[in-house]
Structure 1
Amino acid sequence: MGNRKDHYYNKSKQEGYRSRAAYKLKQIDREFGVLFGGATVVDLGAAPGGWLQVAAEEVGARGKVVGVDFQNISDFETEAGVTTIRGDMTEEETRERIRDAANGVDVVVSDMAPNMTGEYNLDHARSVHLARQALDTAREVLVDGGHFVVKVFDGQDFEGFLADVEDEFAFARTYTPDASRDSSSEVYVVAKNRVDAPVAEGDTLDVEITDEGDEGDGIAKVEGYTLFVGDADAGETVEVEVTDVKPNYGFAERRD
């Protein structure tokens, strides 16, 4: 364990990153491609700034990175495209400042961890609480199709949290970067392509079939969102159950 810790610690010093955690985000991005040129990124719990540095590198000159933390994040005002906000992301005033600083957020990342007590169940519960607050922020500021990365400690409430993330995004995976310490129970949830659909899986509703798709499915519109309905013809009004929701379209089956 010590050698690996020393490796990333030394590497961060040599390469000028503010924390060894920078390599976690680098590895997550290499695996899943969540950062991209021109993106607007919000980094929650950003101090001391290792993730801000990586995000700024990846989004480039056309991108924008906003770091949020209780603690002051020093000397970032000098870096192009990086803004820092000192505040509590659970407070409306801080979220308003995030929205003002980053109009239309493409990616929300959070490497926040609770103050450790050494009591595993308590630390786990607190980490899930922080992760849920990060998810709430992502819901509020992310554009349709946006991405989300959050750290959480594994434990009894993890699966419930993961299920909630899966409901919000087209793609969700768990990942443990090589740069995480062997002794750590941390795991990252990586979610891509936020689904902001007016319907959810399992919903039942009456829809009017207005068109026919390439595969012969009926097409219905719900608040501008496209639903493909099997065995339905244009002109019919049918009761359906939503079976699958994607970012730009969904599928439903007839119930009548």
Structure 2
Amino acid sequence: MTGRDDYYNRAKQQGYRSRSAYKLKQLDDLENVLSSGDTVVDLGAAPGGWLQVAAEGVGEEGRVIGVDLQRIDDLEHDQVETIRGDMTEERTRERVRDAAGGEVDTVVSDMAPNMTGEYSLDQARSLHLARQAFETACELLGSGGDFVVKVFDGPDVSDFRAEVEEEFRYVRATTPEASRKESSELYLIGKERLTAPVREGDELEVEIVDVGEEGDGIASVSGFRLFVPDAEDGETVRVRVEDVKPRFGFAERIN
């Protein structure tokens, strides 16, 4: 039995609407992008396999919003809401933002273009859809949120990955086992959305406004806390940002 047949049969036996459900399962196993109580937005959600997996991952206390140009038949999960629309159109993206009603925890996208059979064209269209998903993720994700997006490997994917890396703590590229062997699809997983006003390598002058439990000075940059070793309350020091996490960062003094 081939791997393809195995996943197809598993999906039928376990009640998933598509074999691709196992891709999200494997991506979640790899990087834990679905947690109990989360709000998840699924872009390109038809026929609903990823919605089923997301609903299982967030549980009854969570919420899942799926969007696709194709109609998605109702699911048995009460926490799932679907929107019919084209994610390349601003009006659809606005409906998604309205449905979310605020920041979300995870945005996933398995969107793929209508295939022409000309790889360079299909790859370029796939990259365009991935960028649309990325823009939507940047609009919706709160601090520390996660992003999963499919793209066909090829020209400019490395540039796209670099753009995603600027917005997340780290980015992992992977191809899940459930992907077809002949497929060129690649999934980028962005972990922990960074909404801080500083980035690693930034140099700036800060005022130490407090001292932490470990004795490090604490500076505030637009409400974002920076821990600075060997700095005292009331000092003004020049620092270089060394590490940025979703809600705080670390810097070294350079004067």
How far apart are the structure 2 equivalents of 1:54 and 1:200?
Answer: 34
Give the letter for the 1:81 counterpart.
Q
- Corresponding position of 1:163: 162
- Corresponding position of 2:56: 57
Contact 1:240 1:255 in 2 (8 A): yes
Give the letter for the 1:237 counterpart.
T
Distance 1:216 1:160, change over 3 A: farther
Give the letter for the 1:93 counterpart.
R
- Corresponding position of 1:12: 11
Contact 2:88 2:129 in 1 (8 A): no
Unpaired runs of 5+ residues, structure 1, are none
Q: Give aligned-pair identity as a percent.
A: 65
Contact 1:64 1:102 in 2 (8 A): no
Structure 1 stretches (4+) deviating beyond 6 angstroms? none
36-45 vs 89-98, which moves further: 89-98
How far apart are the structure 2 equivalents of 1:177 and 1:119?
Answer: 24
- Corresponding position of 1:94: 92
Contact 2:42 2:109 in 1 (8 A): yes
How far apart are the structure 2 equivalents of 1:55 and 1:11?
Answer: 18
2-11 vs 26-35, which moves further: 2-11
Contact 1:153 1:186 in 2 (8 A): yes
Unpaired runs of 5+ residues, structure 2, are none
- Corresponding position of 1:82: 80
How far apart are the structure 2 equivalents of 1:156 and 1:216?
Answer: 48
Cα-to-partner distance string for 1:82-120 (whole Å, 9 max, x where unaligned): 111011224333233223322331111001112223333
Give the letter for the 2:82 counterpart.
T
| Secondary structure of the corresponding residue to residue 180 of structure 2 | coil
The alpha carbon displacement at 1:159 in A equals 1.7
How far apart are the structure 2 equivalents of 1:110 and 1:168?
Answer: 17
The alpha carbon displacement at 1:226 in A equals 1.0
- Corresponding position of 1:135: 134
Give the letter for the 2:169 counterpart.
A
The alpha carbon displacement at 1:231 in A equals 4.2
The alpha carbon displacement at 1:193 in A equals 1.6
Contact 1:89 1:137 in 2 (8 A): no
Cα-to-partner distance string for 1:142-170 (whole Å, 9 max, x where unaligned): 12111111111222312222222222122
| Secondary structure of the corresponding residue to residue 100 of structure 1 | helix
- Corresponding position of 1:233: 232
How far apart are the structure 1 equivalents of 2:238 and 2:128?
Answer: 38
